Chains A and B, each alone.
Chain A
Amino acid sequence: MDIRLEAIRHSYKDFEVLQDITLDIPAGRIVCIVGPSGCGKSTLLRLIGGLERPGGGRVLQVGAPPENCLNPLTYVFQDFALLPWRSVRGNISLVLEDHRIRGREARRIIDDVLARTKLTDFADALPKQLSGGMKQRVAIARALAVNPAVMLMDEPLSALDSQTRELLMDDLVSLWTRQPFTAVYVTHNLHEAVRLGHSIVVLSRRPGRIREIVEIDTPLEERQMGDADLDQKQKYLWQLMRDEARAADAELLNV
C-alpha cells in the first residue's frame, strides 16, 4: 500500500505552515522528512495519519493494506506515549483489545513483537522502570503488533541520548532488513536521516515546501558509521538546510 500526498496545504489561523506538498511514499521504503524547526514536518505527519485535517489538498491511500493489518497507519511518537499504569505487555495488549484479540492469539502476537524488539525479559515491567531507549522499543513493539502498512515515526529517537540512538538505529535497520516495512520518518537529525532513509525529503523553512528529495541507494544494512558517501550526503543536506535553519532560529515565535 502506497501513500500519495496531493498539493497539501495547511495553516494555523493566518499562519501558513505547509504549502503545496506533493509526495509519493512507496511501499517497503523509509522516507525521511527533514527540515528546520517549525517547518511543519510533524504537522505533515499528523496529516498523513489523519490526526489532523489538511487545509487543502488530499492524502490518498493507494492500494489495499495487507490482509492481517489491524491499523494501516500507525504512529511511533517522540515521547513514547506509553500508558504508565500498564506493564509492557499491557501496553501492547491495549491496541489489540479493541480488535477483539485476546487470550492465546494476543499472547502469540505480543510474544512475537517482544522477541523482535528484544524485550522478552521486560514483559511485566512498568514504563517507569524502563530507560528511554527501552520505552521507545516498547512503543515500536506496540506499533509492530498491529501489523501496520505504514509506520509514521515522529522524531522517535529525539528524546534519547546519542548512544541509545545509535543502538536503536541498528535495531530499526535489522527490523527492516528482516521484514521491510514502509515508514515516514520525521527527524531533525541528519545523521538519522542518512542512516535510515531510502529517500530524504528536505523541507524549507515555514511555510514548508519541498526543496529537494535526496535519494540514497546504499542498502540500509551496508550503511556504516564513517561511510564517505553517506558523510558526503549528510554534508550536502546540511548545506541545503543551514541558511534556512539559521533564519528559522532567528524568527519570532508567535504561534
Chain B
Amino acid sequence: MSDATLTPPADTAETRTIAFRGGGFAPRSQRWVGVAVFVVLILIAEWGTRAGWISALTLPRPSDVLKTFGELYSSGQLFKHLLPSLSRLAVGAAIGASVGVSVGILIGLFSYVRSGLVPLVAALFPIPKIALLPLFVIWFGIGEGSKYALIAFGTFTPTVVATYGAVDNVDRTLIRMGQSFGLSWFSIVRKIVLPGAMPGILSGLRISLAIAIILLVAAEMLGAEYGIGAYILQAGSLYDLERLFAGVVILSLLGVLVSAVIGAIERRVLGWRS
C-alpha cells in the first residue's frame, strides 16, 4: 500500500483506493440468457422423465411433446386448429383494443365521460369474463359472435384503464404550448395527446393482448370444433398430456410473438424516447 518510492513522502498515513460501491440496480437485457433458461428447464424435464424421477403422469417428456407437435404439423391438423384461433384472436382483440383506446381517450379528455365511465370500468374489470360466456352465447349465438365478444370484452377493460392513465400522463406544458399557438382542439388531440399517450397505450396493449390469448381458450370451451383452445380442452379431458402441452406451447409461442410484434412497433413508433 504505502510504496515510499511512488507516494510523496510528505505524510506517512496509509493510502488506499476508494472501493467502488455504485454498481447494480440497473438491469439490462442479456439476449441469450432467456433462451438459456428455457433450454435448461427443458433439459432438466427431459432428463428427469427419462431417468424416472419425474413420473410420466406428472409431466410429459419434452421430446414426446415435440413428436406430438410434429405429428400435428404433418397431419395438417395444426393449421386447422391455428387459423380459426388466430382469426378469433385478431377480430376479438382488434374490436376490444380499438373500442378500449377510443373510450380511454374520451375518459382522459372529458370530465363527464370520466365521472360516468371510470366507476363503470372499475366495476367491469374484476368480473371474470369466462363466467359470462353462457350469457354471451345467449346474446351473440353459439357461433363466432360469442367468441369475438368474450375476447373483445376481456381486452377492452385493461386497454381503457391503460389508455386513460396514459392520456393523464401527457405533459400538460405541451398541451398549453399547443393552445398558446392557437392549435385547434382536434389538432391538439391528434398531434400532442395521442402521440404523447402512445407509450402507455402500447404497454397497456401488451397486457390486454396476453389476456386475449388467455381468453381464447375460454372462448373455445363452448361450441368450437377447431381451435387451439378446443384442442387443449379436448386433450385435457382425455388426460393426454403430450397433446395438452403441445397446445400450451403454441399459446406460449403466440404470446412471445405478440410481445415481439409490440416490441417492434415500440421501436418504430417510440424511437423518439431517450
**B contact face: mostly helix, strand, loop, or mixed:** helix
Residues in B neighbouring A74, C-beta threshold 8 A:
180-181
The smallest beta-carbon distance between A156 and chain B, in angstroms, is 13
User: What's the minimum C-beta distance from B143 to chain A, rounded to whole angstroms?
Assistant: 42
Q: Does A49 contact B (CB under 8 A)?
A: yes
Which residue, of A77, A98, A126, A127, has the highest number of chain B Cβ atoms within 10 A?
A98
Q: Are B173 and A97 in contact (CB under 8 A)?
A: no
**Closest CB of chain B to A43's CB: distance in Å?**
13
Q: How far is the CB of A191 from chain B (nearest CB, A)?
A: 26
Interface residue? A85 (CB, 8 A): yes
Could you tell me if A51 and B180 are in contact, using CB atoms closer than 8 angstroms? Answer: yes
Are the C-beta atoms of A98 and B174 separated by less than 8 Å? no
Q: Is the CB of B180 within 8 A of A49?
A: yes
Any B CB within 8 A of the CB of A81 = yes
Chain A nearest CB: distance from B66 CB in Å?
A: 44
Is A81 a contact partner of B173 (Cβ separation < 8 A)? yes
B182 at the interface (CB under 8 A from A): yes
**Shortest CB distance B178–A (Å):** 8
Task: Assess whether A98 is in contact with B177, with CB atoms less than 8 Å apart.
Answer: no
Q: Is the CB of A85 within 8 A of B180?
A: no
Is A71 an interface position by the 8 A CB rule?
yes
Q: Does residue B184 face the partner (Cβ distance < 8 Å to A)?
A: yes
Knowing A71-B181, A84-B272, A98-B184, the reply to whether A51 touches B176 (Cβ < 8 A) is yes
> Which A residues are in CB contact (< 8 Å) with B274?
84, 128
Q: Does A126 contact B173, Cβ atoms closer than 8 Å?
A: no
- Is A94 in contact with chain B by the CB < 8 A criterion? yes
For the complex, count residues of A whose C-beta is within 8 A of B. Answer: 23
Instruction: List, in ascending order, chain A residues with CB within 8 A of B181's CB.
Output: 71, 74, 94-95, 98, 142, 146
A75 vs chain B, min Cβ distance (A): 5
Interface residues of A in 67-81 (CB under 8 A from B): 70-71, 73-75, 77, 79, 81
Q: Which of A85, A95, A127 contacts B195, CB < 8 Å?
A: A85
Residues of A28-43 contacting chain B, CB below 8 A: none
Residues of B within 8 A of A97 (CB): 187, 191
Partner of A81, one of B174, B184, B195: B174
**Given the interface contacts A94-B191, A98-B187, does A75 sit within 8 Å of B180 by beta carbon?**
yes
Taken together as a complex, chains A and B put the C-alpha atoms of A95 and B181 apart, in Å, by: 6
Residues of B within 8 A of A98 (CB): 181-184, 187
- C-alpha gap A77/B191 in the complex (Å): 19
Contact with A along B256-274 (1 / 0, CB 8 A): 0000000000000011111
Residues in B with CB closer than 8 Å to A126 are 271-272
- B178 proximity list for chain A (CB < 8 A): 94
B-side residues, CB < 8 A to A, are 173-174, 176-184, 187, 191-192, 195-196, 270-274
